[in-house]
Amino acid sequence: MISHNYYTRITIHKAKKLWREDKEICLHPCKLRISEMFQPCLVSAEKYLKDIEWKPVSISDLLHATIELQNDDILYQKAWDIMYNNWAYYNTNYEMGYYAHYYIKE
């Protein structure tokens, strides 16, 4: 583990596990150092799931989603994928890097 200014770097597997347990994790672009200017964003599963609004476009989508949402693991995996894709869309580029490093706040 690498520590930076009260943040400890963790692996993606540990990040997913902690996120599933509703602990806050931090995402940060891979080429930037954590500093006063560049703080990582904090997310937790419970807060993110409350904010997600998913509206099906057809009856088949609704039936498919209902079947999938019965399994919590699939729900959390889909929520993780949506959260990460949204974060990556707005926070990654050539200069900052194309993927995230994961941190927990100490």
Distance CA(71)–CA(47), nearest Å, equals 19
Instruction: Dig out the tokens for 90 from the structure.
Output: 């707005």
Domain range summary for the chain, segments of one domain joined by +: 3-105
Could you tell me the pTM of the whole model? 0.72
pLDDT tens by residue, 63-94: 455 555 556 677 778 778 888 888 898 888 99
Instruction: Dig out the tokens for 78 from the structure.
Output: 């889909």
Backbone angles phi, psi at 17, to 5 degrees: -65, -45
* Single-letter amino acid, residue 34: I
pLDDT tens by residue, 18-61: 988 888 888 888 888 777 556 667 777 777 766 665 544 444 55
Provide the H-helix boundaries in the chain.
12-20, 45-51, 59-69, 72-91
Distance CA(60)–CA(57), nearest Å, equals 8
